[in-house]
Structure 1
Amino acid sequence: MPDDRPQRRGLPAQPGAGPAPPEAEAGPQRPGQEGQAQGRQEGPAAAARAAPAVAGDVQGGRRAHPPGRRRAREGEPQAPADERLGEGRRSRGRLVKAALALLLALAAPARAALSINATPNRTTVALDEQLVLTVSVQGDAMSLPDPELPSMPRFNVHNAGRSQAMTMMNGRVSNTAEYTYILVPRLVGNAVIPPISVRAGGETAQTEPIAVVIERPGQAAQQTPQAAAPAGAPARARRANGPAPVFVTAETDKKTVYANEQVVFSVKFHYSIPLLGNAEWTPPDTTGMLSEDLPPSPARTVAFEGRNYNVSEVKIALFPLTPGPKTVGAGTIRCQVQKGVDVDPFAGDFFRQFFSAGLTMAEPVSLQTKPLQLTVKPLPEAGKPVGFGGAVGRFRVKAELDKSTVKAGDAVNLTVTVEGNGNLKALGELPLPDIPQFRAYETVTSLNQSKDEQGVRGSKVYKTVLVPKVSGDLAVPPIPFSYFDPAAEKYVTAQTPPLKLDVTPGDPTQAPVGFSATPGAAPSGITAVSEDIRHVRARPGFDGAARAAAAVAGAGLLHAVPAATLAFAGLVAGWRAREDSDPARSRARRAAKAADERLGKSRATKALAESSALVGDALVGYLADKLSVPPSGLTARQAVDALRRRWPKMPEGHLEQVKRLWGEMERIRYAPTTVRDLDVANLREAVKELIVALEEAAS
């Protein structure tokens, strides 16, 4: 996981921080912005009101002029419209309004495919407080893109977690992802959170701007740090009479950890004198460790060596990747403090110093934390469970089926949730036990991660579509999940209870055709027409066959014909023997032809569901034949990994196309109500082009 944190960012707002320079203060909104926003909101309504006014009369298939202009042209007096004409204009106005309403209603579903909404917990916040912004993204796709945050110079933005929920009901997919951000104000004044956008394919959605008022902190909070020393005293004098007015400390909650165990790195910035603006924080170097920014702690006041200090704290969750010594580098805090002016009566500029004695000057201060050492131990080999995926922390696992009774051949959703404390992003695939009574499809995962002062926690959800092959009382066996508990220093295997499922017989018209292998079980009612075994009957004196055989034996060239036939039969038999000895090679060679036949059947099938199913069978069948694996239970990830192992030089673009088309195939299969003929046709052509490309790359 790359470290996407900015190299420099602001600390949480300091209660004692003074106001920014006047030119940096937020002023009123620019004149054009309010008008533009109002125009965007009133545009459709104004168009709807103006539409009836420009509608003219229609007479005899032509558009006539409005009544007033027509009367003026014909020389008639400008009299009020008669009752019939007025009623006609009102009818046309109602028709135009109804048409506009219909167009808006038809356009609404298209916009509802992807939507985004931003909600703050408050619109007025003090400089020493925090604002929580929740961004919700909704769509009908299996995976949703992350929102694109705009530049917000008046706030320090911290990512506080993400949650996701996906439902499949009546063939429709509904996916919702919520992102939580903590905004720490930096400057007093009127601020605006610009529109937050999200893009998926060619579709873009964005939120409305949000106005926020940033106020000064309370008067008591401002006066607290100034009680330590006179306001005009120089920093050097105050430093000489006691502890430093500004200092920083850093620590980790653990010194010795296991690989992939969570470590919380904390930096505390202490200051007892007023600051000019907010401090700037540069994170340390954390090579060899994954890092996650944690939400900032609220500013507080502490006493240290007889002096009151304001404390701002920054925390980072670290996950060492490999065993061995690790170093958390030095972090840097830069700020500006108030510097008093000393008046020297013997200086040449005494009067300038005297009249400026009541003013303060900015003194830049740069503080660095001390590097910290971590000892990272390897995970023990003793007792490591089979299939251990590297999870370190404390977790629990649960599973559920969305149905308790289904028909054979119908789909049921299996949801497995792993939740706890630790690096959830490092959790890989969750292997399912052997369930031969079911056909398992691609597993879709979603991450719900939250952060607080204690670290990273949350859950990872695995959703798999299962299709029972047989009827009866079936059960999904317990699903194990193994992790290493660093507190107990041992491996733990948690598992779900078995899930029972009542499967009733499916549609008999779709049952597979069976054949009886019992000897003598031929169906009754079959009448013998002829016999293929003739009895030998001797005919004395008949020697025509002997004469024909003698004639053939006398013709030497005719013997080449049966010899050639025998040689050809031998070649065919040898080819078939090689095919039988290496069925995988034969299957791989015929994969493209079999897939092309399925695509041809799909093209000729008018039923949309059957046509899309044939396209999916063509893709899955081709990959299974090419890789010599059974198509049942084959997933996109397994297919891509096998293609990469079999053909290391396979272009990555081909592998990405396999995953994309596989996901589109699953969407069409399990959300048939949203599928159009054009979608199936496009998928069919894309699968055909992909097969051609894979054949060329594998040759």
Structure 2
Amino acid sequence: MVINFKSQIPNSKKYINHRLQSVICLLITGIFIPFILFAGEFNFTATVDRTTVGLGETFTLNVSVNGENISGVPAPKLPELPDFNVLGRSSSQSTNISFINGKMTQQTTITFIYTLSPKKIGRFTIGPCRIDYQGKTYETQPIEIEVVKTATQATPTPSPIPPRPSAYSEGGVMLIAVPNKKEVYVGEQINVEFYLYTQYNLQVNGISKMPNFSGFWYETIYDPDRLLYQKKTYDGKLYYAALIKTVALFPVTSGNLTIDPMELSVTVVKPPRDFFDIFGTAEDVRIVSKPRSINVIPLPQEKKPADFCGGVGKFTLNARVSRDTSNQGEPVNLIIKISGTGNLKLIEKPALPSIPNLKILEPEVKENIDKSTGTIKGTKEFRFPLIPQVDGEHIIPEMTISYFNPKTKTYEVLKSERLKFFATGVTRGAVVTDAGGLKIVGSDVRYIKPDKNIIKSESDKTSIIYLFLYPISILLFGIAFLYQRHQERLLKDRAYARRFMSGRVFKKRFQEASDYLKKKDEKNFYSALSKAIIGYLGDRFNLDTGALTTEQLKQALLSKGLKTELVEELFGIVNKCDAVAYSPLSNTDLSMDELFDKTRKLMESL
């Protein structure tokens, strides 16, 4: 009997293709489903160590990012903090590795730590922090902070003892904080070194908790990648000691301040217990340093200079201008550099005297800090843009600032030299020019000069053509008379001339700003937009904008009948433009296009 299997077995080629497709689908499913099942969430949070703070105290803002494979995450963007000083910043990172159903997952937490201090008493809000990651923007919740007059920070207590104490945790392994001074003035530097002492073989896993250094601004001076051990004797016992970290502290308030404990996570190898315990055992241990007290002396209030800049240490002062000439209103930078050793980052900007015919903008601040010697030293530079309002020589008088020298225990005064520069192109000789750029010259007038050669004798006959031309000639004569009166008034009445030309001049300058906008030329765009607004207001209402301060100019516009909201919005735009145009580190909450459209709508309402 012959059995035909052809009808029972499918086509072999189709069968193989079907099998291959099934296998490929299973492989793809096996590869990608675990990633889908165990895809990590991205968490972005912000917390503070306390919500009630005393004036002069510090608190910590912790901004944390948690997720899988986030090693390349950028630093968060802090909101504007006008009510707080940012005294210091640092970061920490921890990683947790686990196995779920045979798959390894790695959760990483990165914490950005900011030390803040309030500027005044009241209730304030820390706005949302933002971070852009993998094409998405994440925000934290706002945080309410209450600032009270009296101190709220109680003396901290040492952290609890490790959960499983043993012989080595009682003295065989120690973490010791060593301050180089026990009494300092407010703002004076004190260095604290954290040493690890051990009599056992161990592995350092990392710092599990840093002190928040409440009441101090701090800078990390030494943070090694690998530890260097040396033999040292402590309480008559021999140890191997390694320096874990060195920080420079600057107290921002007086009183008896406490340096909080540091916590360090280590794995200690215990010695063998008996003959059968050949290699010994390892145990994870958390060791804690003891708190240290520092007596902080307040700065003397008697004979405290009015120009005290907040500096404590030893400093020098140098002032100069970036150039000795200015053409067509270009800004000249007044550069004030403070150099020396001490709390450079806490030095406030110098108060400049009132200088006639100069517009002074907010400074750009640059810091150059050197920590290599263990003492904070370097320079802090303030660059004030000065915009001349008139031609001629501009004199910058001598300036003084004071700081406190803890070695001599006295206030010392620094004095700069008298500076000057020359401005041209702001106004030109006899040409009448205002801050808005309006120029009135004699050539604007066109006198009517009759020509005797074209005068012909008229016939006594009257025709219908002459009857028709007679009223037209009277009308033209009236127009010519009014035009001449208009031209004469342009020459004699400056207010009338400025008001008449204000719209034309503004359109020209606004078009310049539009051209810079198309070219994406930020500096010239903001400068042109500011000049267009200020120039129009000066021309329209006959105001000498160069000789008036911003507040005086606002009051003058309000007295002319402008609404308060309109004036505030216009000067808000001007301030933003000046800040971005002349201070490169500044920015604005509106884009160039949005600012341009907003200006156009406001000016149309005028």
TM-score, normalisation: structure 2:
0.49
Larger RCO (alpha carbons 8 Å, 6+ apart): 1
Please state which structure has a larger fraction of its residues in helix: 1
Please state which structure has a larger fraction of its residues in strand: 2
TM-score, normalisation: structure 1:
0.44
